[in-house]
């Protein structure tokens, strides 16, 4: 056999690498900065006539240095001004550019207006819609004041039923006179108030005056039918008192010197210090004010007689089945999981009932404990309830799983509605060779033995039973006196030990009680999670930016504070603590809000690294956990 000659590597012919390099260069150019996207967003979707609102246009890529064409807006809107903002970020050595244009607009007429598609560097934004309405009477009457509140409920003139959620909006209007303040949500009787999303801040014009606006959205769920009184929203704060309305003392030499300095003509310096070099805290402490909105009275209708036993007053209800996207392959004796999720728009997860699902013939059904949660898009609450089931087929053949129907009440059309999942017809395959189910099936039952063998076994068993009974009878007759004597002795011994133990407890009652209490405390605390270990879990979850783990750790931490009535959601936890509501809302928003960005757990850990701070004031079940406002600092 001829051996293969040894050819040096440098003498081998190399393939040219330039085609692969050229292909890589073309791919880089195709995926480079030429790719761009533009987006358009509104700061709100309902605007009062005379208000100004902000249209934000965002662009990235090569088109970020182009200017948007705003000419199509002039038909329905007056363009008041435009400001720009540029953002440059570098990640893994790659640079990305983003630019925003904030366009201040004022509507020219009432109605449903359209923001047309706008062009930015050859790219087009998506069209938008917003509603222009007349300002409410309460706002027109209060315009001209330094601070006033506007509230509204959005029911669209339709009836409101018990347990139906009512959208409720609070708007605080204030001018530059406001120094500080705190806005509180109303607390109606026989109703639950829940905050939705983050507050919205913008500027507007009323009767020719410029105002800053803080807008907050809530939902109110009435718990009984009849009259519902929503009390006013309350604001307490301080406003600056005009200098000419106060009597000034004589100026000191130092004050004369500072007022003659160049800073005395600086409007920012003068306004902040109230015209005095000693600062606003001494020269102009402000005047306390209290502002209330108008109260709202509503009529809540009872549950309709035509409604089903499931009372679900919602705007929409959807059912989803995990088998729809991934149909199962069934085999005898092998479990298959199925998750059914109910989502109700305008209801919380606790109001959604558990589905009653029965096991079809030939299947063993094992349901797990359902889970529930609440999500929000900032204006509407969505309740979600998930139920996981395990199906274990017991026979080969065709399996018919019936449809699932959920009855609910459509609040948009004020009528009964139904949502259903279709039925399934699945083929059950035999179990795999060597599986436990096949082994059980291959083992013959006892009834499969021949009849002659069974009769012989019965005869032998009867004879053995008769012999055993005779033996027991003889033993009992022989040992009866000894058994009686032993029983009497044992009874006397038990009575003696009981008397001695009772006398010992009477002599040392304090020791007995002290020995019992630690045992009770230990058994009670053993069922609770350890607070230090839970804090370590929360720290690890925040360091890893693991949102789900952070939620579990926070709820476990709440259990260590309220073991008998632990909060089961972030919203319930926020209502019981003094600080940290903002971080909880950010975590909840990153979990459930549409288009949520990456979450950074460092802020959450800083807020709760020392545990939870319980609320000092008790008896406030509807407290929304809002912190004080500081408008001038923003």
* Residue 169 covered by a domain: yes
* Residue 476 covered by a domain: no
Alpha carbons 104 and 82: distance in angstroms, whole number: 6
Pair 184, 71 in one domain: no
* Residue 400 covered by a domain: yes
Pair 202, 96 in one domain: no
Taking only the tens place, the pLDDT of each residue in 336-356 is 999 999 999 988 888 888 888
Task: Quote the tokens at residue 302.
Answer: 């009872």
β pairing state of 178-184 and 234-239: antiparallel
* Residue 104 covered by a domain: yes
Q: How many CB atoms lie within 10 A of CB 193?
A: 19
Pair 61, 194 in one domain: no
User: 3-class DSSP state for residue 165?
Assistant: coil
* Residue 260 covered by a domain: no
Pair 125, 234 in one domain: no
* Residue 219 covered by a domain: yes
Pair 358, 317 in one domain: yes
Q: Give me the pLDDT at residue 391, please.
A: 92
* Residue 459 covered by a domain: no
* Closest CA relative to residue 391, chosen from 370, 366, 369: 366
Pair 148, 115 in one domain: no
How close are the terminal C-alpha atoms of the chain, in Å? 89
User: Half-sphere exposure of residue 63, counting CA atoms within 13 Å on the CB side?
Assistant: 21
β pairing state of 94-107 and 77-91: antiparallel
Pair 195, 80 in one domain: no
Q: Give me the pLDDT at residue 269, please.
A: 40
Q: Give me the pLDDT at residue 9, please.
A: 41
Q: Give me the pLDDT at residue 142, please.
A: 56
* Closest CA relative to residue 230, chosen from 319, 313, 291, 167: 167
Q: Give me the pLDDT at residue 606, please.
A: 86
Phi, psi of 292, deg, nearest 5: -125, 150
CB crowding 507-527: b at 16 or more within 10 Å, else e: eeeeeeeeeeeeeeeeeeeee
The length of the chain in residues reads 634
Taking only the tens place, the pLDDT of each residue in 527-541 is 567 888 889 899 988
Q: Give me the pLDDT at residue 603, please.
A: 84
CATH number at residue 332: 2.60.40
Output the pTM of the full model.
Answer: 0.47
Task: Quote the tokens at residue 273.
Answer: 């210090």
List the chain residues with pLDDT less than 50.
Answer: 1-15, 24-35, 63, 140, 245-247, 262-283, 436-468, 471, 475, 509-526, 594-595, 618-634
Pair 120, 162 in one domain: no
Using an 8 Å Cβ cutoff, are 187 and 181 in contact?
no
CATH number at residue 205: 2.60.40.740
Q: Give me the pLDDT at residue 158, please.
A: 83
Q: Give me the pLDDT at residue 433, please.
A: 65
User: 3-class DSSP state for residue 147?
Assistant: strand
Task: Give me the number of domains the chain comprises.
Answer: 4
Which among 86, 114, 133 is the end of a domain? Answer: 133
Which among 133, 162, 193 is the end of a domain? Answer: 133
Pair 101, 174 in one domain: no
Q: Give me the pLDDT at residue 420, please.
A: 92
Q: Give me the pLDDT at residue 232, please.
A: 92
Pair 294, 187 in one domain: yes
Query: Domain residues for 76?
Result: 37-133
Q: Give me the pLDDT at residue 135, please.
A: 72
Alpha carbons 219 and 206: distance in angstroms, whole number: 27
Which among 433, 449, 465 is the end of a domain? Answer: 433
Q: In whole angstroms, what separates CA 574 from the centre of its chain?
A: 11
* Residue 142 covered by a domain: yes
Using an 8 Å Cβ cutoff, are 223 and 162 in contact?
yes
Pair 581, 569 in one domain: yes
Pair 154, 175 in one domain: yes
Alpha carbons 323 and 170: distance in angstroms, whole number: 43
């Amino acid at each position: 056999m001829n051996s293969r000659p040894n050819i040096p590597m440098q003498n081998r012919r190399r393939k040219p690498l330039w085609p692969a390099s050229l292909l890589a260069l073309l791919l880089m150019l195709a995926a480079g900065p030429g790719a761009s996207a533009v987006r358009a967003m509104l700061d709100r979707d309902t605007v009062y006539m005379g208000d100004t609102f902000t249209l934000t246009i965002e662009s990235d890529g090569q088109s970020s240095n182009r200017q948007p064409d705003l000419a199509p807006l002039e038909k329905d809107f007056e363009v008041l001004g435009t400001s720009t903002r540029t953002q440059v970020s570098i990640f893994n050595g790659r640079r990305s550019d983003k630019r925003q244009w904030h366009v201040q607009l004022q509507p020219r007429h009432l109605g449903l207006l359209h923001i047309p598609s706008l062009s930015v560097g050859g790219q087009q934004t998506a069209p938008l819609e917003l509603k222009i309405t007349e300002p409410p009477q309460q706002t027109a009457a209060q315009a001209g004041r330094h601070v006033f509140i506007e509230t509204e409920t959005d029911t669209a003139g339709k009836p409101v039923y018990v347990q139906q959620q009512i959208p409720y909006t609070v708007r605080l209007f204030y001018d530059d006179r406001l120094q500080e303040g705190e806005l509180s949500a109303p607390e109606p009787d026989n109703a639950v108030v829940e905050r939705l999303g983050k507050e919205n801040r913008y500027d507007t014009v009323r009767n020719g005056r410029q105002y800053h606006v803080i807008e907050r959205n809530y939902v109110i769920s009435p718990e009984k039918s009849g009259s519902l009184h929503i009390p006013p929203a309350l604001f307490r704060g301080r406003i600056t008192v005009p200098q000419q309305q106060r009597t000034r003392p004589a100026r000191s030499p130092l004050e004369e010197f500072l007022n003659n300095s160049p800073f005395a003509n600086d409007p920012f310096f003068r306004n902040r210090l109230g015209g005095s070099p000693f600062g606003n805290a001494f020269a102009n402490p402000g005047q306390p004010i209290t502002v209330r909105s108008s109260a709202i009275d509503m009529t809540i209708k009872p549950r309709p007689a035509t409604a089903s036993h499931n009372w679900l007053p919602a705007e929409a209800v959807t059912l989803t089945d995990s088998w729809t996207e991934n149909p199962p392959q069934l085999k005898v004796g092998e479990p298959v999981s199925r998750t059914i999720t109910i989502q109700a728009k305008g209801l919380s997860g606790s109001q959604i009932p558990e589905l009653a699902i029965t096991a079809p013939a030939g299947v063993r059904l094992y349901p797990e404990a359902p889970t529930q949660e609440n999500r929000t898009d900032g204006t509407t609450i969505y309740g979600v309830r998930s139920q996981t089931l395990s199906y274990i087929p017991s026979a080969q053949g065709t399996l018919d799983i019936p449809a699932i129907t959920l009855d609910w009440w459509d609040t948009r059309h004020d009528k009964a509605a139904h949502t259903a999942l279709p039925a399934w017809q699945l083929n059950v395959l035999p179990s795999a060779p060597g599986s436990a189910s096949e082994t059980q099936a291959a083992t013959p039952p006892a009834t499969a033995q021949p009849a002659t063998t069974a009769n012989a076994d019965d005869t032998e068993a009867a004879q053995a039973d008769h012999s055993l009974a005779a033996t027991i009878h003889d033993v009992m007759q022989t040992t009866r006196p000894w058994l009686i004597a032993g029983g009497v002795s044992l009874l006397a011994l038990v009575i003696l030990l009981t008397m001695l133990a009772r006398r010992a407890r009477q002599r040392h009652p304090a020791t007995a009680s002290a020995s019992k209490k630690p045992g009770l405390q230990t058994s009670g605390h053993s069922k609770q999670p350890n607070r230090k270990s839970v804090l370590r879990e929360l720290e690890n979850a925040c360091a890893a930016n693991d949102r789900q783990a952070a939620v579990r750790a926070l709820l476990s931490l709440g259990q260590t504070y309220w073991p008998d009535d632990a909060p089961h959601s972030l919203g319930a936890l926020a209502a019981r603590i003094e600080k940290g509501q903002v971080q909880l809302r950010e975590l909840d928003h990153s979990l459930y809000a549409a288009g949520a960005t990456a979450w950074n757990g460092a802020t959450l850990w800083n807020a709760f690294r020392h545990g939870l701070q319980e609320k000092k004031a008790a008896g406030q079940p509807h407290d929304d956990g809002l912190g004080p406002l500081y408008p001038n600092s923003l």
